[in-house]
Structure 1
């Protein structure tokens, strides 16, 4: 898929399960929490905690009882730790190509400001972003028009592309605003599988990897 980039073009991205797999954030957070609770048996505890999660139960309940810590404290650690995560293949090259051609880069993501900001910094792309809209910071979540109109107000370009993975909510408003929409197909690891694909909310284009995008 070729996208012509110049100073009148902006590529805007969702974050979780679009630029990286969110399950990696979860693993990073669980490892951090387990390492804070025990130095000697971190790996054993982590494996047990992750298996609890995979079984559909709440590992925080187990940790709170075993180590006599509050669930609120565990949640705080989960949300505020600086994660060890990597972007999907092709993401950095795409963003660098956009900047090289004087295009704009935006983020529209739901979540907490500290959490989402730390993710973007850990991915190594924070300094490439021209405008970042995080739901907690603006008080509205996708598919609210406000989140996307704030991008338009800031970037002031004539052509927008939005990349997302959630076929239930990601593409409703960008399509309404006349943006081009591109859906990233679930690689099988998405925390919230995008099996809710339907004709009403479907993106214009589908990709399996950012390596399929060429900026020209």
Structure 2
């Protein structure tokens, strides 16, 4: 367990991602009272789009355009305007998950750290800078820039190239999503740790090497092995 590289997912692994709160703030800036019913309707469109995106069936641009299409027509603005407004709102409400700062501060000078995210470019760097985490990571890989999303092994291979092709046995992938993060890590041939905060059952075909319920638990797991 003596890892030299630890790769993290971003949303719900290092950072809270409260989409309703972000949309509520974003739409308030357009003088719209965005409700839970509106959110449920939005998710009927949004959730299948993310599955298609992760499965490589649609592009990031298609996802961003389609999820806001009906609202763009209602408000007479472009889908790009709404997408940027949403990502700005998400940056404004961003908070690290409990234990994230302590864990990253502990790891910073002991191992190399990276992020592999299916999130969008416009949010990632701003969020890292605002939380003070930007200097912790030597590698930041964003699916929108690479053109493929987790769990596709290609995004991991892109990361390995940025990392200078370390031995795969030296790499640990940490994430909350068993499909994109853990199956993705399995497919790429690296060790994985599932941040399973809701203590869900491991899906068929997914094989995490480790499971933790919190970042504090991960900190305790890693501490004895990282000097």
TM-score range, shorter chain: 0.7 to 0.9
Q: Could you give the per-residue CA deviations for residues 126-155 of structure 1, whole angstroms, max 9, x where no partner exists? A: 221110110111111112222111222222
Distance 1:205 1:173, change over 3 A: same
User: Post-superposition shift, 1:49?
Assistant: 1.1
Aligned residue pairs, count: 191
1:165 is aligned to 2:176: yes
- Aligned partners of 2:36, 2:16: CA distance in 1, in Å? 18
1:75 is aligned to 2:83: yes
2:65 aligned residue? none
Q: Which runs of 5+ in 2 are unaligned?
A: 44-67
4+ residue segments displaced more than 3 Å: 58-65
1:211 is aligned to 2:216: yes
- Aligned partners of 2:128, 2:136: CA distance in 1, in Å? 10
1:191 aligned residue? none
1:58 is aligned to 2:42: yes
Q: Which runs of 5+ in 1 are unaligned?
A: 39-44, 189-194
Q: Which has the higher helix share?
A: 2
Q: Secondary structure at the match of 1:182?
A: strand
1:110 aligned residue? 118
- Aligned partners of 1:110, 1:201: CA distance in 2, in Å? 19
Mapped contact 2:148–2:155 kept (Cα < 8 A): yes
TM superposition score normalised by structure 2: 0.72
- Aligned partners of 2:188, 2:26: CA distance in 1, in Å? 41
- Aligned partners of 1:70, 1:175: CA distance in 2, in Å? 42
Mapped contact 2:151–2:187 kept (Cα < 8 A): no
| Aligned counterpart in structure 2 of residue 21 of structure 1, from 13, 16, 25 | 16
1:94 is aligned to 2:103: yes
Bigger CA drift: 171-180 or 136-145?
171-180
Mapped contact 2:23–2:34 kept (Cα < 8 A): no
Output aligned runs, 1:174-185, within 5 Å. Answer: 174-185=185-196
- Aligned partners of 2:131, 2:38: CA distance in 1, in Å? 24
1:85 aligned residue? 94
- Aligned partners of 1:132, 1:111: CA distance in 2, in Å? 11
TM superposition score normalised by structure 1: 0.75
2:203 aligned residue? 198
Mapped contact 1:29–1:83 kept (Cα < 8 A): no
Instruction: Say which structure, 1 or 2, has more relative contact order (CA 8 Å, 6+ apart).
Output: 1
